[in-house]
Amino acid sequence: MIDPSMRKEHVFEKENTLFTVQCTKIYILTIIIIKMIHMSRKEKDLEQIYRLIVEKLGQLSKGDAFAKTMEENRNFNYKGKDDSYFFEKMTQVVFESGLRPTSWAPHRDGIKKAFCHFNVRKVASFDNDDIQSVLALKDMIHRKPKIEAVVFNARKIAEKSKEHNGFWKWIDGEVTREGELIFPKPELIEKIQKTFKWLTGINAYYFLKLCGVDVIKPDLNVRRILFRLGLTETDKNNRKTWSQIQDVGRRISKATGERIINIDYVIYLYGSGGIQFFDHPICTIKPKCEECPLTNFCNWYKSQRGEQN
């Protein structure tokens, strides 16, 4: 026969265990709800940050080029493009690498002529004499390693095109689509970096962006702005930061409905200016905080005020 006192103790322990389990469930549920509310606020912040930047750039815009480019970007798509389209974009990345972005435009026509109007198969057949001839041209960026890289890349594009019946189909097999958005699969960046010359580091992102894939080129301006806003852990130029920036781009896109290609464009211009479009940039190395509408979100601004106080 069971002692009544022991039975009561057993019932108490059982009830206490059930109570503990219920409390744990309530605690976990509370944490999840808090995180969801926090994330919701974060997404609203992201939407507001993006809208404020676009509004400010609109105020600084010299004409309608900024608005027109934004609209064009929304319909930007590489699908069905011939190989010369990708070859030109890749050549632009090669020649701009390590130089100012404005270095490409003045030489574009000369480079286009030198490389047979970006005819992939013709350039793929270039030999050393052809490379020397290109190097001797007046309207050319005279960097032999870059010219050699362009010829090498033409051969690789030709190989991919032959294998997949068009280079665009190779790219298309390495992306995922969500509505109007075109995201690269994680391995695509690595494949581009390993396959082509001068497309290492952030240049792989730049190439895909120029082609119409929804990525953010994690350059100095973008890294600086997103870090100051507390959206990335650091502004260092490394793979972890690049990955965080892509995640921020997707979150802003989800919050605003805007294509990432435009989000990249907007953030970059906010830090670099683009003198052909705007009077001046805002979030430079020495930012114009007095003009910036993002001070309520900016960790850098708050830290500077704290130091001054």
Between the CA of residue 153 and those of 10, 23, 213, 256, 259, what are the distances in Å? 76, 62, 19, 37, 29
6 CB burial (10 A radius; 0-12, 13-18, 19+): exposed
Of 288, 95, 77, nearest to 177 by C-alpha is: 77
**Does 213 score more than 50 pLDDT?**
yes
Q: What average pLDDT does range 264-277 have in this prediction? A: 86
Q: Is residue 44 part of a domain?
A: no
Pair 161, 54 in one domain: no
In this prediction, what percent of the chain has a pLDDT beyond 70? 85
Least confident of 6-10, 93-97, 220-224, 244-248: 6-10
Is 147 within 8 Å of 131 (Cβ atoms)?
yes
- Span 24-51, pLDDT tens digits: 655 454 444 433 433 444 889 999 999 9
Does a structural domain hold residue 150? yes
CA atoms of 113 and 29, how far apart (whole Å): 65
**Phi, psi dihedrals of residue 35, rounded to the nearest 5°:** -65, -40
Taking the model in full, what pTM does it have? 0.83
- Band of the pLDDT at 99, cuts 50, 70, 90? confident
**How high is the pLDDT of residue 42?**
80
Residue 20 domain flag: no
Q: Is residue 124 part of a domain?
A: yes
- Examine the pLDDT at 10 and tell me if it is beyond 90: no
Q: Tell me the CATH number at 100.
A: 1.10.340.30
Residue 158 has pLDDT above 90, yes or no: yes
Helices marked H in 97-185: 108-114, 120-124, 128-136, 144-164, 167-172
Among residues 152, 185, 211, which one ends one of the domains?
A: 211
Which of 56-65, 219-228, 267-276 is most confident? Answer: 219-228
Q: Is there a single domain that holds both residue 86 and residue 204?
A: yes
pLDDT band (50, 70, 90) for residue 4: low
Could you list the residue range(s) of the whole structural domain that residue 100 is in? 81-211
Q: In 3-state terms, what secondary structure has residue 266? A: helix
pLDDT at 283 over 70: yes
Residue 305 has pLDDT above 70, yes or no: yes
158 assigned to some structural domain? yes
Q: Is residue 41 part of a domain?
A: no
175 and 284 within one domain: no
- In a shared domain, residues 148 and 201: yes
Domain limit, last residue, from 211, 233, 248: 211
